[in-house]
Amino acid sequence: MIYAKLHTKSGERIKYHKNFSVWPGIKFAEPINKSFIRWIIGNVKKIDFWKDTWATCTSLREHIDLPINQWKECTAKVSDFINPDGWKFPTDIFLAFLAMGIDIYSIPCNPNTKYFQIWKLDIHGEFSIKNAFESTHNRLDTSWWWKYTWLQCLHPGLSRFAWKLINQILPRDDLIQRKGIQLVSICNLYGCTTELAEHLFFECTLAKVL
């Protein structure tokens, strides 16, 4: 599905911006799960030396403070430091690893095998959505209000209404207008002003009485 969304019918990657409802979730989960993904080094030509997670649980870039414009010149691949016998690092790179507390020669490297990624939380290194959820859901921040919203003593309709209200997704006129839909906004109770959240729940005459 994602491939079809971001590629043309001829198989080429699109070169323009395209809205995709899945991206917010991907962006949210990426930093949480990134530390659980690891490269197994082999005959590697695509792993970015600085940006990919292969030497530690984070990328090497996160250990080094450089201006953004200088990172554009850092295009080395891990394959640039591998010869037929294994690792081959210049002295300055090796010393940089030591300064970061990384024993680079302790990382297995077999040039005769292919490289691949593993999910470190699975005994077989295989990723699954179920395993990722079970491993990371406790790390997510919980809103303070949820336990007051989803109470057994409350009707589910009221809980659902409160959840929508707090998350700013009730179909109010002002939210509908933000989506580009043209309509005349007016309070349906007294018709004295536009339909805004502040007016509906705090400023409206009926709201003050309740």
Max mean pLDDT range (23-27, 49-53, 54-58): 49-53
The pLDDT score that the predictor gives to residue 61 is 81
Choose between 124 and 162: higher pLDDT.
162
What end-to-end distance do the CA atoms of the chain give, in Å? 48
For 27-35, what is the mean pLDDT? 71
The pLDDT score that the predictor gives to residue 150 is 81
Domain boundaries of the chain, sorted by first residue: 2-139, 146-209
Q: Is the pLDDT of residue 9 over 70?
A: yes
Separation of alpha carbons 149 and 136, rounded Å = 24
pTM to 2 decimal places: 0.39
Q: Which of 95, 76, 75, 78 is nearest to 40 (CA)?
A: 78
- For residue 104, what pLDDT band results from cuts at 50, 70 and 90? confident
Q: Is the pLDDT of residue 208 over 80?
A: no
Q: Which of 20, 21, 15 is nearest to 7 (CA)?
A: 15
Q: Is the pLDDT of residue 43 over 60?
A: no
82, burial (CB in 10 Å: exposed 0-12, middle 13-18, buried 19+): buried
For 21-47, what is the mean pLDDT? 70
Q: 3-class SS at 111?
A: strand
Joined together, the tokens standing for residue 70 give 């200088």
